[in-house]
C-alpha cells in the first residue's frame, strides 16, 4: 500500500526487456546508435508532425533544458506557484538558463489562471529594461494536483502567450495520464493546442529513467544538443535511454500503463467518496487528495499504508489532506486493503 508517489514503482517488464535487447552487441556512443536514430521517426509518428527529440534521464533535466532553450537569461517564465519547476527542482531552470526568473502565479486546481497571466504580462511590459522580459509560459499536464487542463484551457493560455510572443512549454512528467483522461490524440493535446516544446515523461509511468525534450518547432531550439551535452545529460550509452522510450511508445504501452494508473486512482476516489471523505481536488489523472481525519491517518499508517501529507487550505488539526498517487504497478488488492482500513 505505497501511495507515496508513482516513482516508487520500478520499471515495467516491457521496458526491462527492451533494455536487455538493447544490450546486445556494440553501438555507436553518445546517441549515434540505431535505436536513438529511430526515435525521431517514432516520436514524429506519435505526434503526427516532424519533431526533434532529446532523451534525458530526469524530468528536471527535461524541464530545465527546454526552458533554457526558449527563455534568455534576462527573461521570465510564467508558471503556477505549485509547479515542479518552481518548487521542486532546487533552482534547475535558473541554473540551466543562467538566471531566468520564474514568475509564480496562483490559480485553482494547480492550473494557471488566464487573468493572472494577463496581469503579469501587463505588469511586465515589453522592452522596459528594468523588468525581466516574459519569454515563456510553462504549464504542467497533468498538474501537480492530479487535475488536467482541457484543450480549451490550454488554447486560452496559448492565445495570451502568443499575443506577447511567449513560447509555450508543457511539463509532461505525467503526460500519459493526462492523455488517457482527455481521450484526445497526442497532437491535439500539444502542438495543435499551441505547445511549442514539452518535457515528455516516461519514468513515472513505467520506465527506469527516461524522459525527452520534444520540440514541435525545431527552429526554436536549435541549440539543445549543445545545452544537453554541457549539462552532462548526453549519455555515452544513450541506447539504453532510447530503448526505454521506444518500448514505451511501442504498441501503446504508455496508454496501457497510464490507463491502469488512472483507473486505480478512480477506484480509490470512489471508495473514499463512498466513505464520506472529502476530496480536496477533483481527481482526473493518477493522484487523489483526500482530507482524512487524524485518527484515520494513524490507522492507515499502522496498517502499512505509505503516503505524504499535503497541507491545503481547509485543513484543520483534526483533518488533514494527504496525497495518494497510483502507478502502473498499483494493484486492486492494495486499493481494497486501503479502503478496508477506512471501513469501506
Site for a second copy in 200-219 (CB under 8 A): 203-204, 208-209
Strands 211-215 and 75-80: unpaired
The least distance separating a second copy from the CB of residue 279, rounded to whole angstroms, comes to 23
Helix H or strand E encompassing 77: strand 75-80
Using the rule CB under 8 A, is 339 a contact of a second copy?
no
Residue number, 35 or 193, with CB nearest to a second copy? 35
The least distance separating a second copy from the CB of residue 43, rounded to whole angstroms, comes to 19
Residue number, 182 or 243, with CB nearest to a second copy? 243
The least distance separating a second copy from the CB of residue 273, rounded to whole angstroms, comes to 26
Let me know: does 246 contact 46? Beta carbons within 8 Å: no
Q: How far apart are CA 226 and CA 181, in angstroms?
A: 35
Using the rule CB under 8 A, is 343 a contact of a second copy?
no
Using the rule CB under 8 A, is 34 a contact of a second copy?
no
Residue number, 66 or 154, with CB nearest to a second copy? 66
Which residues ranging from 58 to 97 are in contact with a second copy (CB under 8 A)? 58-65, 72-74, 76, 87-92, 94-97
Residue number, 13 or 155, with CB nearest to a second copy? 13
Residue 197's DSSP bridge partners are 169, 215
**Site stretch for a second copy (CB under 8 A), options 145-153, 212-220, 230-238, 259-267:** 230-238
Neighbours of 123 (CB within 10 A): 11
Using the rule CB under 8 A, is 226 a contact of a second copy?
yes
Cis peptide before 142 (omega within 30 of 0): yes
Tell me, by CB under 8 A, how many residues bind a second copy.
75
**Site stretch for a second copy (CB under 8 A), options 40-48, 178-186, 223-231, 279-287:** 223-231
The least distance separating a second copy from the CB of residue 30, rounded to whole angstroms, comes to 7
Using the rule CB under 8 A, is 295 a contact of a second copy?
no
Residue number, 228 or 267, with CB nearest to a second copy? 228
Residue number, 91 or 218, with CB nearest to a second copy? 91
Residue number, 131 or 256, with CB nearest to a second copy? 131
The least distance separating a second copy from the CB of residue 39, rounded to whole angstroms, comes to 16
Residue 168's DSSP bridge partners are 137
Q: How far apart are CA 41 and CA 39, in angstroms?
A: 5
- Of 304, 185, 251, nearest to 12 (Cα)? 251
- Of 131, 102, 128, 107, nearest to 117 (Cα)? 107
Using the rule CB under 8 A, is 227 a contact of a second copy?
yes
Q: How far apart are CA 221 and CA 234, in angstroms?
A: 16
Beta strand extents in 29-132 (DSSP E only)? 52-56, 75-80, 101-105
Residue number, 84 or 192, with CB nearest to a second copy? 84
Residue 169 burial by Cβ neighbours in a 10 Å radius (0-12, 13-18, 19+): buried
Return the axis-axis angle of helices 294-302 and 332-341, rounded to nearest 10°: 130
Which residues ranging from 298 to 337 are in contact with a second copy (CB under 8 A)? 329
Per-state percent for the chain, helix, strand, coil, to nearest 5: 45, 15, 35
Using the rule CB under 8 A, is 187 a contact of a second copy?
no
Cβ contacts of residue 104 below 8 Å, gap of 6+? 79, 80, 81, 83, 86
Using the rule CB under 8 A, is 232 a contact of a second copy?
yes
Using the rule CB under 8 A, is 164 a contact of a second copy?
no
Using the rule CB under 8 A, is 231 a contact of a second copy?
yes
Residue number, 125 or 155, with CB nearest to a second copy? 125
The least distance separating a second copy from the CB of residue 252, rounded to whole angstroms, comes to 22
Helices (H), 114-252: 114-123, 151-163, 175-182, 186-189, 224-230, 239-249
Amino acid at each position: 500500500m505505497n501511495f507515496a508517489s508513482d516513482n516508487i514503482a520500478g520499471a515495467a517488464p516491457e521496458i526491462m526487456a527492451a533494455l536487455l535487447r538493447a544490450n546486445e552487441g556494440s553501438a555507436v556512443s553518445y546517441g549515434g546508435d540505431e535505436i536513438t536514430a529511430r526515435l525521431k521517426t517514432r516520436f514524429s509518428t506519435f505526434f503526427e508532425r516532424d519533431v526533434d527529440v532529446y532523451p534525458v534521464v530526469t524530468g528536471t533535466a527535461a524541464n530545465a533544458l527546454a526552458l533554457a532553450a526558449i527563455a534568455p537569461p534576462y527573461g521570465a517564465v510564467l508558471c503556477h506557484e505549485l509547479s515542479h519547476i518552481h518548487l521542486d527542482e532546487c533552482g534547475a531552470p535558473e541554473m540551466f538558463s543562467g538566471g531566468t526568473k520564474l514568475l509564480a502565479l496562483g490559480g485553482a486546481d494547480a492550473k494557471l489562471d488566464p487573468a493572472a497571466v494577463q496581469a503579469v504580462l501587463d505588469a511586465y511590459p515589453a522592452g522596459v529594461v528594468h523588468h525581466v522580459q516574459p519569454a515563456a509560459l510553462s504549464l504542467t499536464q497533468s498538474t501537480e494536483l492530479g487535475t488536467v487542463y482541457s484543450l480549451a484551457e490550454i488554447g486560452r493560455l496559448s492565445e495570451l502567450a502568443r499575443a506577447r510572443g511567449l513560447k509555450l512549454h508543457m511539463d509532461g512528467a505525467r503526460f500519459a495520464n493526462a492523455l488517457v483522461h482527455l481521450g484526445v490524440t497526442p497532437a491535439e493535446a500539444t502542438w495543435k493546442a499551441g505547445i511549442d516544446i514539452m518535457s515528455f515523461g516516461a519514468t513515472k509511468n513505467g520506465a527506469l529513467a527516461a524522459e525527452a525534450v520534444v520540440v514541435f518547432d525545431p527552429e526554436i531550439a536549435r541549440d539543445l544538443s549543445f545545452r544537453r551535452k554541457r549539462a552532462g545529460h548526453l549519455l555515452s550509452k544513450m541506447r539504453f535511454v532510447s530503448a526505454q522510450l521506444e518500448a514505451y511508445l511501442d504498441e501503446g504501452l504508455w496508454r496501457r500503463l497510464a490507463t491502469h494508473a488512472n483507473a486505480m486512482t478512480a477506484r480509490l476516489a470512489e471508495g473514499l467518496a463512498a466513505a464520506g471523505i472529502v476530496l480536496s481536488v477533483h481527481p482526473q489523472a493518477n493522484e487523489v487528495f483526500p482530507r482524512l481525519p487524524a485518527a484515520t491517518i494513524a490507522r492507515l499508517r499502522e496498517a502499512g499504508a505509505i503516503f505524504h501529507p499535503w497541507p491545503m487550505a481547509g485543513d484543520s488539526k483534526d483533518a488533514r489532506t494527504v496525497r495518494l498517487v497510483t502507478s502502473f504497478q498499483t494493484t486492486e488488492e492494495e486499493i481494497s486493503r486501503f479502503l478496508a482500513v477506512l471501513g469501506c
